[in-house]
Structure 1
Amino acid sequence: MKFNQKSTLFLSLFMLWSFVALVFVFNPKSKDKETVVEAPTARAEFFSRENVQQRSEYIHQMLANPSTDEIPVNIREMESEFIQELKLNANLNRLKMSAAGVNAQNNPSLLTWNSLGPNNVGGRTRAVAIDVTNENIILAAGVSGGVWRSTNGGQSWTKTTDPEELHSVTCIVQDTRPGKENVWYYGTGELVGNSTRSPGAPFRGDGIYKSTDGGLTWEPLASTQVNNPEKFNSPFMYVWDITLNPNSANDEIIAAIYGGVVRSADGGQTWGTVLGNSLYEVGNNVDLNNVPAIFYTEVYRANNGVFYATLSRSTNTANAFSQLAGIYKSDDGVNWTRFIAHTGLPYRRTEIGASLSNPNIVYFLSDTGQGHKLIKYNNVTGAKEDRSGNLPDGTDEEIESFDSQSSYDLFVRVHPADENTVFVGGTNIYRSTDGFATKGNVKWIGGYNPDVEGNSSYPNHHPDQHDLVFLPSNPNVMISVNDGGIFRTSNNLASPVVYESLNNGYITTQYYTINMSQSPADNFAFGGLQDNGSILSTIGTGNNGVSLIGGDGGFTASTRFGINYYTSFQNGQVYRLTLNRNFTLSSFARVDPSGAGADPSQPILFINPYVLDHNNGNRMFYAGGDFLWRNRNLSQIPSGLQTKTDVNWEKLEKTEITSGSISALETSSDQENILYYGTSEGQVFRMDFAHSDGYTVTEITSDIFTPGGYVNSIAVNPTNANEIMVVFSNYQIKSVFRSTDGGTTFEGISGNLEESPGAMGGGPSVRWAEIVPKADGFTEYYLATSVGLFRSTVINEENTIWIQEGAQSIGSVPVNMLDYRRSDGKIVVATHGNGLYQSQISGVVPEPVIQSGSGLVVENAFPNPFTNNIAINYTLPETDVVRARVYNSDGKLVKTIALGLGFQGENEIFWNGTDVKNSPVPPGVYIIRVEYRGEIKVQKVIYTRE
């Protein structure tokens, strides 16, 4: 995820904007023009140098079995089998409970779940095709979001993948023979790039699926399914591309899969390898991880009936290169001739494109492992022209270098009416009108915005390109798919190219995190997404999302009073935001501590946790790798900065961990000032008096935890801080534990979410937990898992029964997080592939009323005298703007130390004995004046030096 930080030249203006924003917040009837500022952003590129290792390690550490340090191969298929059996048992249990007259608390009704979108934001899409019988029918698919179908040119979409089917779709193709147009096929398995798996253990697929009704329903081709899910034993787990032979009387399918190219002449009933490694024939008992094999393959059929295929020199074994690497062609799909051999360089992926107007001219775009190569090939003469030198290389200041992120995003497509108009895609789209014969005719037409410094997207487009298709009736109309979904232009020859989003209910976004705004006045949730930053989604008003900040979105948080909202992106960059009435950004400040993550062996995580104190919206705890950090007044951090800050941050020395990184934390609610935190190495700690300098830390790691497990979530009962749930996200270890005595003892409660008593097999990765106390005295427990959402109302140690929620809506897609609001029971669930779902829990115990008095109350400053920092504690009856200023004994203003929000209840302001230039003031007596709604309170303090 490489990124360039933007200039901060307008700091003073930003600070003014922040104050103006607060005025608008507290004067909602104002009709003046609202202030809007540009959101901070970061590039979200999967394979950029800065973050690929960290991201890989983060995902791997979350999911790998700590005993083997490996993510189980074929785990998705194992999970699928497990969830089917779990549902069968659940139905049987329901029947038994009903027959026995068990009460409703032990046999609860399920919630009703509705999609929350975001309807206008799409997720990573590799597959798209236009129906030859009706160009208004488009089929597209997300790599973890399933197949979607539009009948009106992308103005609306319907999901056609069953909730229980595998959602990892990477390519899609239609049988165009007359009378066969209702037959479609799609391939599964993303070998490179899926964020729910590390590159060393990618998101495996489950073969090829077929539709005979125009893509409305799908069935797997049995011959491509996994027979032994315990092993990586089928190359069909990774399908790069599929093409068909429209000139054949048979149902002829040619597929580029892991290791080579295979062909079926009977609609996929039987297969034979025609090119590359013959992995399909090795047998079910062979683990393909142990068989050297070609990594990248591709197949393409030109309009003249000639088939082309490519095999990478790169294999699954480091430094073991394939002697078969190169570019091949065939007239029948059976007999192949290599006419370009790939030697010398570690060639990875090679993409193919030809024009309808002259299918004998073919372009090949390769990631060589040391740059990119573009070859123009004439099938009639055999001539090969190397056009690589005219790919964007950064020598033109206005055109960024072509970057495919190590083959993650790569294509070459040729305009159907002009063999010389060629489009290449990587992070960006570039167009050449002379087939890249020269550099002068190359234009940057998509991805990142060439006209704006920094990392914003091309207008109405998105970075990280995966394919282009052209409208049959007008080849200038082009559909582009990328990590942001689906986009359309009516003129791909224009300058600039103008796009419109087709993400109109194409819900394929991939969420990492979610937060239900805790203010009863707010009717929205916001969370962090892969490659789509942080998105705010309103409930019940169209389900559209509003982009808050860019990059790979991380944790989000809100106060119970609204007003200030916190979002983050990769590597723990956290921002405080204020929003206008239409949710546009009115101010921001970067608030993460400058000293955190100093030890590279215990880094800040790629998606790094932090939490606001439930009882103090200006107090934050931040996971800083090897230490927790605490900020007791975030409002004193000035707006407009995009750099880390020291303001009010304290490294909590007693929280140090000796290995791994802090990976989860949560504070208590009704019983204040208790915090629990866990680590990536399986340790869990309790912190008491978390608000004060007198805090204590106790390790509560249980001997029934699996050593080395990854603590991904800790849930605290909001009405009883001694009841907690600890969640380990690794596969094939015990996942969920509960304590009712503050961590003194624990019991395992994974129950039926483990396939075996030892937790081996296909049980899911559990990602998140929430505890929901009800007014009737009962408690509900929720778990987000890699196979959907589950709930239990009765905890019975390892006999706990977890029931799937939203089986026909949320389904079995990965759920990474959930959150609910105590004020009204609204609950929201974040999936990695199908966006958000929301529901309503009835009878939730509400938050207690804050006891705050009737006016401004300022307590004695402490410590007084002071040498480093002094704290002024005050209480407010209602949330509003507070100003605090320091004067010397002569009555001269020394510094304004606070001009921001104070929240209803207890607050703190700090002064470190410096003036407006941050220089130490002379020792002496100073007056601190606190102002709130016309009330003024004064404190006399004494500053000394050591």
Structure 2
Amino acid sequence: MNKTSVILPVTLICLALAGYFLYKAPQSSSLSLEVNAGKKKKKSKEVKAMFHDQRVRYEYEMIRDGATGKIPKGIHDRELQQAYRIPLRERGGNLFLSPFGDNSYTAAGPNNIGGRTRAVVFDKRFGTGSNRVIIAGAVSGGIFRSADGGSTWTLVTPLNNIHNVTALAQDPRPGKENIWYAGGGEPYGNSASAIGAFYLGYGLLKSVDNGLTWSRVSSTFNGDLERFDDAYDIVHEIVVNPTNGHVYIAAHRRLIRSTDEGASFSTVFIGSQPSAADNGQMDIVCTNTGRLYLSVNGGLPDQDRRGVWTSSTGNSGSWTRFAGGQTIGTDSITGWRGNSYGAGGAISDVSKRIILALAPSNNNILYAFYENGLLGEGSSAKPEADLFKFDFGANTVANLSANMPDFNLQQDGIDPISVQEGYNMLVAVKPDNPNVVFVGGTNLYRSTNGFTSTTATSWIGGYQYWGTGASSASIVIYPENHPDIHNLVFDPTNANRALCATDGGLHLTDNIMATNSTTEPVAWNTINNYQTTQYYHANIQHNSTQFHFIGGMQDNSCFIRVNDDNKQIRLSFGDGGATAIAKLNSGSDFTFYVTSQLGTLVRSVPNDAIEITPNGLTDNEAGGFGDFVTYFGIDNDNPTDLYYVNFNRVFRTTNAQTATSSSGWTELTGIASQVNPSNPSGDDISIRTIELSRGPYISTHAMYFGTTKGNVFRLNDPRNAAATATPVDITPPQIKTWIADQNTFLNVADIAVNPNNDEEIMVVYSNYTVTTSGGEQTAFNIWWTNNAKSATPTWKLIEGNLTLPSIRSCAIVARKDAAGKAYSDYYVGTSVGLYSSFGVKDTLDANKPINWKREGGATLNYAVVNSLAYRPQDNTLLLGTHGNGMYYTQIPTANFLPNANTGVDDPVRNDKNFIQYSWPGITTNSLQFRIGNMFEVRKLVIMVHNLNGQLVYRNETGYQNGTIDVSRLAKGAYVLSISSGDYKQQFVRKFVKQ
């Protein structure tokens, strides 16, 4: 399929003005160009569903058992328990004797945009005395608490719990307000599905000190975390009855109640198939007098349970339905489309989420907002949601559906109102006016007459409203807000002040009723310092010592961090993938590469942003040209060389700065033929990672890459290799055996190459386990070799004490000790934090177990570390976490010697046949040394380091006695090292300069 039919969920918009970095223009300024992506193809509802499936599939393939396809039972509890037992990396006393010191990790943002947030609550006492407490829950970032009205945030999720929050509730009773409840889990938009779940909840959390500390409620985590099999895996809403403190959990396909503040729970409303993961959303609200209203998904398999119900007691059997009857046109409200019916009124099971909102100033008024099953696309697009108003005081029902937002822009997924199959839905009522009603989908809308007409409706968030007749080139994000609206809450002391929760975090307005502008009536401010974004990939500028970082995030496109500014800059829309900074010299001299989901690759330079996705690609059923997270590999030290991945196919350009979609690309057909011989142009096997040799390009460089089948390959001289050149399969033999015997699929998550020696590589697999033919679950996920360029490398398993987590990323860090001896640190990012090890080869040679230690302490905790990017020039290591943004560290004693091929055995130390001795131990001017009898040594390399590892003297001589002038050195202790030219012998001794 030709590239010009690429599907873009929204038009990709990239940075395009020179001087932008220099002047730090606000994101709302006019900085975008339309990407020349060809004609857009309309997406059907079925294609949209496939699009969601692609994300699910991508994440599921990372962690499933490679043979059975199932998520291992209880794996998260087990991996956390192992993580708790692994010690933190701590500094040794003497760097020369113990180079394994601790690293300090610094948050790198973005602090001006958050990750997807469904739950946010003002403390009901907010504004009373000194109370400024707000509590928010990021879907995979944890519970955050602000004590100063949102200026600063503290992560308060307990260390021994998953960082997954979708629902929050405060006990509103006087004297009980310090009690809070939290739950997690998403059925849509994340990874929960029939084939497995990635971020499910695991029991309720409870706080009794106003959100300062939290603990799991022991009665609520009985199932298996990694699959949907428990009532608390997916919590849609929590409400506390203000009259008696009963806690109601609107879980997936059931309503659960506690009458004793969470000590025990019982089910009070349930369907016949509660363990199915689809079509089970529920919502619950409670009046000030204790009456409850419950909504049940209109696609629930139990037709007699669909609709909206009420109960004055909440007891099982006490519920009465008043909307959404079982038989259309017979026992249903006139015009109700919240139940799922097929042609001719036949029952179907298409999801129809229903959400509720009470008017705070008049609890007799209830609004019900639901998916109506219509298609908001094309020239005949219709609003995808309906709204009903129930006034129980007046005993009236009003169908307001004809007045749902439609601004006649006919932009697919944007206008008319789109709820993306229930993924983003909101209905809220202004606390002091029951006729000011807000509905949300992709965008946020306000009606000042309760949607009784279309004339009082304003577009106030999500994408920017740009006026009738605008083209897709005008699609930009509403200033300081974000598309995909999930929640809206109001300041208890000021009904005009509100917080909006979106896929981009939290946004505050001081006047939600503003009408000061025709197109942008409400002014928002994005809540800063709420670091909750979800990275797929992160990268760093390699030809600089500046802290320029770039990354692609779930839901939040690609952002760039310039220097030390954690207020990062947006570069695209959609879901981000692989990224790279090829050049960033000044505000008017830069080249970036960014990707979005399912295959789009864009190059951005001053005054231009152009899609350069190659033509002639394989596409999939969702109309994309790659996995959900688009991948490419760039040669970090030779950034004109770029390798684009199209499932199992690879396209090479050696002129990335000038390539276009139709020119500058060569398909390396030998790769696809080797990776997937039976289907070279297929999409059933994908390449998930590429790593290249470091340093100025030479013909001995190699490209290493790994696949979703579990294979690892090496392509020699990738820049110059013939298109038909066949890569060498260097898969670890045990992995290869599993693949052959079990028809195993394993996800090669990352490959690390020693920057000084491309013979040494580390390969990590992200699948939790592989079930062997004998039924045994095993996991061999971290592999190492130091002869990767041989025909059959010798692989060693280096899991050591880290056998249970999903390994997502890795890095080999080149260092040197105080004597100048080269060594390496090894890092792996996992589903439960970052870990490091030292001296892998020495440990293996000594037949000792590999010992991993946890990095980052309370800063990183047990965050999911999806991506590691390493710059060897100054040993900067960048982390992209899935839920807590970016962090980085600078590891001491960098030792970047590219193309040196330093992968030799460690030298023999202090053999008197090499160097007999040196003297004196305390000196003011010079040192002397006497050689031994190894006259085959041709050259001596003489170095002096201070105890911080800094080289202060270097000289080379022949193999002869010598004198070393140290008169210019400052007073202090030093280390003398004398090495043979081949580094096989080394003499080391400390001395003191007076």
Deviation at 1:5?
Answer: 3.8
Q: Aligned-pair distance for 1:558?
A: 2.6
Distance 2:579 2:192 in 1: 19
**Partner of residue 141, structure 2:** 145
Opposite residue 512 of structure 1, the aligned amino acid is Y
Q: Provide the C-alpha distance between the structure 2 equivalents of 1:39 and 1:727, rounded to a whole number of angstroms.
A: 39
- For 2:905, the equivalent position in structure 1 comes to none
Contact 1:174 1:181 in 2 (8 A): yes
Give the secondary structure class of the aligned counterpart of 1:58.
helix
Matched, 1:299 2:319: no
RMSD: 3.5
- The answer as to whether partners of 1:111 and 1:805 remain within 8 angstroms in 2 is yes
Provide the aligned length of Structure 1 versus Structure 2. Answer: 791
Q: Which residue identity does 1:124 align to in structure 2?
A: R
- Whether the 8 Å CA contact 1:192–1:202 is kept in 2: the answer is no
Q: Pick which of 125-134 and 391-400 moved more.
A: 391-400
Cα offsets for 1:36-55 (capped at 9, x unmatched): 84156799999935622332
Is residue 360 from structure 1 mapped to residue 364 from structure 2 by the alignment? Answer: yes
Aligned to 1:553: 576
- For 1:722 and 1:627, locate their aligned partners in 2 and report how far apart those are by CA, in whole Å: 25
Match of 2:353 among 319, 326, 349: 349
CA distance in 2, matches of 1:308, 1:673: 66
1:680 aligns with 2:708: yes
Please say which of residues 41-50 and 532-541 is displaced more in the overlay: 41-50
Structure 1 counterpart of 2:872, which letter? R
Q: Give the SS at the match of 1:133.
A: coil
Tell me, in whole angstroms, the C-alpha distance in 2 between the residues paired with 1:599 and 1:391. Answer: 34
Query: 1:856 aligns to what?
Result: none
Of 254, 279, 283, 1:260 maps to 254
Matched AA of 2:80: I
SS in 2 for 1:359: strand
| 1:329 aligned residue (287, 301, 310) | 310
- Aligned in 2, Cα 1:802/1:771: closer, same or farther, shift over 3 Å? same
Distance 1:87 1:107 in 2: 24
Query: For 2:701 and 2:886, how far apart are their aligned partners in 1?
Result: 31
Alignment check: 8 A CA contact 1:39 1:548 kept:
no
Counterpart Cα distance in 2 of 1:293 and 1:693: 48
Displacement of 1:7 after TM fit? Answer: 11
- Residue deviations 1:84-138, cap 9 Å, x none? 33432547xx99x99xx99988893331212112111111011111112124321
Corresponding residue to 1:376 among 389, 392, 398: 389
Looking at structure 2, the residues matched to 376 and 745 of structure 1 have their Cα atoms a distance apart, in angstroms, of: 69
User: Which sits farther off after the overlay, 49-58 or 191-200?
Assistant: 191-200
CA distance in 1, matches of 2:278, 2:571: 43
- Post-superposition offset of 1:353: 0.7
Pick one of 157, 161, 169 that aligns with 2:165: 169
Name which of 606, 617, 636 aligns with 2:628. Answer: 606
Helix, strand or coil: the match of 1:246? Answer: coil
Q: How do 1:221-620 and structure 2 match up within 5 A?
A: 221-226=217-222, 232-248=228-244, 251-277=245-271, 289=275, 295-315=280-300, 320-334=301-315, 335-343=318-326, 345=340, 346-369=350-373, 371-392=384-405, 400-451=415-466, 453-454=471-472, 455-495=475-515, 496-538=520-562, 540-541=564-565, 543-559=566-582, 563-578=590-605, 586-597=607-618, 603-620=625-642
1:622 alignment partner in structure 2: 644
Q: 1:667 aligns with which of 679, 684, 692?
A: 692
CA drift at 1:298: 1.2
Aligned match of 1:126: 118
Distance in 1 between residues matched to 2:642 and 2:187, nearest whole Å: 39
In structure 2, the CA distance between the partners of 1:54 and 1:359, relative to structure 1 (3 Å rule), is same
CA distance 1:679–1:262, shift in 2 (3 Å)? same
Identity %: 31
- After TM superposition, the structure 1 = structure 2 runs for residues 690-701 of structure 1, keeping only pairs within 5 Å, are 690-694=718-722, 697-701=727-731
Alignment check: 8 A CA contact 1:690 1:696 kept: no
The 5 A counterparts of 1:208-227 are: 208-226=204-222
- What is the alpha-carbon distance in structure 2 between the residues aligned to residue 48 and residue 527 of structure 1? 25
Query: SS at 1:512's partner residue?
Result: strand
Residues 1:205 and 1:228: Cα distance change in structure 2 (over 3 Å): closer
User: What are the within-5 Å matches in structure 2 for residues 741-756 of structure 1?
Assistant: 741-742=787-788, 744-752=792-800, 755=803
Q: Work out whether residues 566 and 575 of structure 1, in 8 Å CA contact, stay in contact via their aligned partners in 2.
A: yes
Q: Larger deviation: 471-480 or 124-133? A: 471-480
Asked if the contact 1:313/1:342 (under 8 Å) is kept, the reply is no
Shift of 1:600: 6.7
Partner of 1:768: 809
Distance 1:466 1:768, change over 3 A: same
Q: For 1:68, give the aligned amino acid.
A: T
Q: Deviations over 1:440-465 (max 9, x none)?
A: 33322211112164331112110001
Query: Partners in 2 of 1:229 and 1:463 — Cα distance?
Result: 30
1:833 to 869, 883, 891: 883
Distance of aligned partners of 1:210 and 1:53 in 2 relative to their CA distance in 1, 3 Å threshold: closer
Aligned equivalents of 1:731, 1:635: Cα separation in 2 = 39
Shift of 1:175: 1.5
Distance (whole Å) between structure 1 residues aligned to residue 200 and residue 70 of structure 2: 14
The 1:292–1:701 alpha-carbon spacing in structure 2 relative to 1, beyond 3 Å, is closer
Question: Residues 502, 560 of structure 1: CA spacing in aligned structure 2 closer, same or farther, 3 A cutoff?
Answer: closer
Query: Equivalents in 2 of 1:406, 1:792: separation in Å?
Result: 46
2:759 equivalent in structure 1:
722
| Aligned-partner Cα distance in 1 for 2:224–2:866 | 27
Where does structure 1 lack aligned partners over 5 or more consecutive residues?
A: 9-13, 30-34, 280-287, 579-584, 638-643, 756-762, 851-946
Q: When the two structures are superposed, what TM-score results if normalisation uses the length of structure 1?
A: 0.77
- Conserved 8 A contact 1:36-1:587: no
My pick for the range that moved more, 264-273 or 770-779, is: 770-779
SS in 1 for 2:595: strand
User: Which residue of the partner structure matches residue 784 of structure 1?
Assistant: 829
**Cα pair distance change 1:369/1:655, threshold 3 Å:** same
8 Å CA contact 1:2–1:51 kept in 2: the answer is no
Residues 181-236 of structure 1: CA deviation (Å, up to 9, x unaligned): 21111112223222598985241111111111111111111111236658654211
- CA distance in 2: counterparts of 1:525 and 1:847, whole angstroms: 23
Query: CA 1:480–1:549 in 2, change beyond 3 Å: closer, same or farther?
Result: same
- Secondary structure at 1:406's aligned position in 2? helix
Three-state SS of the structure 2 residue aligned to 1:809 is helix
How far residue 510 of structure 1 moved from its aligned partner, in angstroms, is 0.8
TM-score relative to the length of structure 2? 0.74
SS of the aligned residue for 2:304 comes to coil
Q: Which amino acid aligns with 1:699?
A: D
CA distance in structure 1 between the partners assigned to 2:860 and 2:233 by the alignment: 24
Q: Secondary structure at the match of 2:670?
A: helix
Report the counterpart of residue 377 of structure 2 in structure 1. none
How far apart in 1 are the matches of 2:385 and 2:73? 32
Shift of the 232–608 alpha-carbon distance from structure 1 to 2, 3 Å rule, reads: closer
- Aligned to 2:232, what secondary structure does the other structure show? helix
| Counterparts in 2 of 1:730 and 1:366: CA distance versus 1, 3 Å | same
Mapped to 2, the partners of 1:50 and 1:297 lie a distance apart of 24
